[in-house]
Chains A and B, each alone.
Chain A
Amino acid sequence: MPRIIIKNGCIIDPDRKTATVGDLVLEDGYVREVVDLASAPTSYGDEAEFIDATGCFVTPGFIDIHTHLREPGFEGKETIATGMDAAVRGGYTTICPMPNTNPTLDSASQIRQQYDIAARHGVIHVLPIGAVTLGREGKVLAPLAELSDAGAHGFSDDGAPIWDAHIMRQALLYSKMTGRPVMNHCEDLSIVRGAVMNAGPVATRLGLTGWPASGEEVMIARDIALAAETGGRLHICHLSTAGGVELIRRAKAMGIRVTAEVTPHHLVMTDRWVLGNMEPWDGKGPYDPAQLRPYDPRTRVSPPLRSAEDVQALIAGLRDGTIDAIATDHAPHTLVDKECEFDHAAPGFTGLELALPMLLTLVNSMQIDVVELVARMTHGPAAIIDVLPISLGPGDPATLTIYDPNAVWTVTPESLASKGKNTPLMGQEMRGQVMLTMSEGQIVFQRAGFGTSLQQPQPSIGHLPGVFDEDEA
């Protein structure tokens, strides 16, 4: 394999917490060296191929520990293949499909089948999550050790909570043999009961049943107590409330083994989106919710979009490390699943291809540093599912993503490879786009027009928002 030189990019290494503008030299599928722009040689020799990454960021491939690929059982919504296509277009090189398929991923053969189907389609890592209970019914433990041996990287009944506290306690205990986390979707059904959006002034105005923060926090608190007692590995899925962040912050301070994830949509959108054009947009936030009609089912997600105060607390939790990872909760649905009454609509957003531009709005508004952000999309999730920490230093596999933070594009059904077009951001203008994705030296996605060349590009610093802001103005 020839040498590939990724020229003039801003190389983010979340492991070393560095951002280096310069050249990334790849050889035989591995990183050979990182060359600072100032010390870049005038020639890398005749055998080199070049990727001009001027003005782009070069990061380790993103890891999504919470993805719904819908296969087997719901192939109208998504398949493993279309989900993998969506993943690489979103910069993801590792994704973890959740087991709420039909049949449920609750046996070793089901887990192996995920690997087989994925291997036939592509080279990125599809690392399934196994069910905690048989059929995700919350009653009988699934064979967690067998699932783990077959390649399950965690256990979850996601889509539904592990509502029975005793079963949750047993799962935390039993899973200790595997070292894998129990990932709970925290929703106390006795409180939440038919709720379709966040409880608060918007739900009161619209007459929709509200899901109070306590409906999530009661179960997080329960699970923390169980994790403390059992010593099991607890992971909280899609954290969405300020109170939940505080519970996890305190649990971590007490040394309890708990990790947490947050979705891009809970970081940049609020329940105000359900109002749609019932109120004019006040200009707050990166996207315009008044482009939607009121009660647009595409704004329905579980857990629901929360208040502005919750969003601020989630960002703070992400920054201080209370929240370990960003996970998309990519939940593709068909048009029919959403073209109906709000309370009949399937909850969930398509996510893999929109995560990066959504998250970059936090960088652009100076709410998070780009190195921190990339760490929460790579290093953080890697630690939860026990894959090697990912960095871009000499000897690391060439598993990486190149994105242009300034590329502007519009979300259309055609712009998404996922079968799921269900997003409240349909029609909105996005800033930031993945240009190239590489998995272990192999280019798995390359945007048209973002070309390789045999000519060596001149050294140059592109416009890199969040990195050289002090030079601007």
Chain B
Amino acid sequence: MNAPTVPRRRHILALDDWSAAELRGVLATAAQMKDVLARPIKQVPTLRGKIVVNMFWEESTRTRVSFELAAKALSANVLSVGSKDTSVKKGESLVDTVRTVQALGADYIVLRHTSSGAPYLVAEHFRGSVINAGDGRHAHPSQALLDLFTMTEQLGDVHGKKIVIVGDILHSRVARSNLWALTTLGAHVTLCAPPTLIGPASEWQRTWPNVTISHDLDASCEGADVLMALRLQRERMEGGLLPSLREYTRRFGLTADRVSRAQPKVLVMHPGPMNEGIEIMPDVATGPHSMVEQQVTNGVAVRMALLYLVAESRDQAPSA
């Protein structure tokens, strides 16, 4: 397989320092992986004999299954450990678990964790490679890359396109990773949420100077090329972040009417799992603009590309 030239990375923790060329390189690799998944035999021997450990310290089905399929399609041996396993219940620390997994011979850790920044701790103590599968509110690089892959597949380049992300921005690692990827490629990003679920605009613009902050979804939808809704955690009602789901849905739900204000070929996206009838209406979720299923399909290809790229990097430059 001819891999595009991309910078070598030992870990994939966040997209903060990824260049446009590197992002495009991953997309090109993912396209090749998507071809593999379209074959009758959906497997290549790239990671044969390697051990991938899925460490999921937070509930997840979609991302875990997607990474598992990706690793298996590359012929790796996959092991899953979760926070419900006994050692964690007994009070074993994350660092202890990493040392144990390392002693068992793991080459890769795919980490999902409730604490922002946890992958940096794991990377500090693990001799192999770490792929962040979502940490707290911080980053979800594979999700942002599969979103980007889906957008470029449909729209061509995202440069100059208007992308609206609506929902619980404050608590969203998906929004943050998408911001890095999209702004690096020159897209115009609007973040739309009630003030309690986003915070002051200046705090976002210090890191992402060109991002637009809005509290008005009707206005934001005008001319949008992509409308991405985020999952609203029902616990947000506690602590005064929102008065009611009804009020949220009225102002910030993706309805057919709002979709009609956007570009005729607008893409409707959602990282899942969806609360249909709250942040997205059922007819929109399954309607002609919806990319939700494509996102899931592309997710496997993108995660194969990430595993492949860190594997390449490890073979070329042995880690210290």
Contacts and interface: CB of A to CB of B under 8 A. Distances in A.
Contacts of A294: 117, 120
A256 B93 CA distance: 48
A207 B138 CA distance: 4
B265 to A, nearest CB: 32
Interface string A330-356: 000000100111111000000000000
Interface stretch (B40-48, B150-158, B202-210, B282-290): B202-210
A340 B94 contact: yes
A207 B139 contact: yes
A341 B98 CA distance: 13
B138 A206 contact: yes
A80 to B, nearest CB: 29
A204 interface: yes
B65 interface: no
Interface string A68-79: 000000000000
A207 B120 contact: no
B95 A339 contact: yes
A143 to B, nearest CB: 37
Nearest to A207: B137
Interface string B100-124: 0000000000000101111011011
A193 B17 CA distance: 31
Interface string B207-242: 100000000000000000000000000000001000
A177 interface: no
Contacts of A278: 16-17
Nearest to B198: A204
Most buried by B among A193, A208, A210, A341: A341
A201 B117 contact: no
A391 B278 CA distance: 69
Nearest to A339: B95
A465 interface: no
Given A206-B138, A207-B116, A207-B138, A340 B93 contact: yes
> Is the interface on chain A under 10, 10 to 19, 20 to 34, or 35 or more residues?
20 to 34
Contacts of A293: 120, 123-124
Contacts of B94: 340-341
Contact of A336 (B93, B123, B136): B93
A471 B136 CA distance: 55
A281 interface: no
Nearest to A293: B120
A295 B94 CA distance: 15
B202 A201 contact: yes
A341 B207 contact: no
A341 B206 CA distance: 26
Nearest to B117: A295
Q: Which 10 A-B pairs have the closest CB atoms?
A: A295-B117, A207-B137, A201-B206, A207-B138, A341-B115, A204-B203, A207-B116, A205-B207, A201-B203, A342-B117
26 contacts: A199-B199, A199-B203, A201-B206, A204-B203, A205-B176, A205-B207, A206-B117, A207-B135, A207-B136, A207-B137, A207-B138, A207-B176, A208-B116, A208-B117, A208-B136, A208-B138, A210-B199, A293-B120, A294-B117, A294-B120, A336-B93, A339-B95, A340-B121, A342-B117, A343-B116, A344-B115
